[in-house]
A and B are shown apart, each in its own frame.
Chain A
Amino acid sequence: MDGTRRGLLKAALTAAAAATTPVYAQAQGGRHGQAQQAVPSDPALRVKSLESLLVEKGLVDPKAVDALIDTYEHKIGPRNGARVVARAWVDSAYKQRLLTNADAALAELGYGGLQGEHMVAVENSAKVHNLVVCTLCSCYPWPVLGLPPVWYKSAPYRSRSVIDPRGVLRELGLDLPMDVEVRVWDSTAELRYMVIPERPAGTETLGEQELAGLVTRDSMIGAAKVSTSLTGGKS
Chain B
Amino acid sequence: MNGVHDMGGMHGMGPVQQEKNEPVFHARWEARIFALNRAAGSWGKWNLDASRHQRELIPPAEYFRISYYEKFLVGLIELLVNSGLVTRAEVESGKAARGSKKANPPLTVEKVPTFVANGVPASRNMPVTPKFRVGQRVRARNLNPTGHTRLPRYARGKPGTIERDHGVFVFPDTNAHFLGENPQHVYSVRFAARDLWGNQTAAQDAVYVNLWDDHLEPA
Contacts and interface: CB of A to CB of B under 8 A. Distances in A.
Do A and B originate from a single complex?
Answer: yes
Contact of A151 (B19, B66, B95, B96): B19
A47 to B, nearest CB: 4
A113 interface: yes
Contacts of B94: 49-50, 52-53
B109 A135 contact: no
Given A67-B109, A156-B15, A61 B96 contact: no
A149 B73 contact: no
A59 B43 contact: yes
Contact of B208 (A44, A147, A186): A186
B39 to A, nearest CB: 4
Contacts of A93: none
Interface residues of B, number: 98
Given A59-B40, A138-B68, A159 B11 contact: yes
B109 A63 contact: yes
Given A65-B32, A154-B16, A235-B22, 16 more contacts: A30-B67, A44-B27, A46-B73, A56-B102, A60-B40, A61-B105, A61-B108, A64-B109, A150-B26, A156-B17, A162-B196, A163-B154, A181-B206, A182-B204, A186-B208, A190-B169
A58 B103 contact: yes
Contact of A117 (B9, B26, B123): B123
Interface string B92-124: 001110001011110111011101111111110
B140 to A, nearest CB: 11
A159 B13 contact: yes
A186 B8 contact: yes
Contacts of B80: 54, 59
B128 interface: no
Interface string A39-75: 0000110111111111011111101111111011100
24 contacts: A24-B26, A43-B33, A47-B33, A50-B36, A53-B90, A58-B103, A61-B105, A68-B39, A71-B116, A72-B34, A114-B120, A117-B119, A117-B122, A133-B8, A135-B8, A150-B26, A159-B7, A159-B13, A160-B11, A160-B16, A181-B205, A186-B210, A190-B122, A191-B166
A53 B91 contact: yes
Interface string A122-151: 000000000001011110000000110111
B109 A29 contact: no
Contact of B32 (A16, A51, A172): A51
A73 B31 contact: yes
B70 interface: yes
A89 interface: no
Given A56-B96, A66-B109, A47 B36 contact: yes
B109 A61 contact: yes
Contact of A172 (B16, B95, B154, B206): B16
Contacts of A191: 166, 186, 188, 210
A118 B206 contact: no
Nearest to A67: B112
Contacts of A184: 205-208
Interface string B184-199: 0010100001001100
B151 interface: yes
A123 B86 CA distance: 47
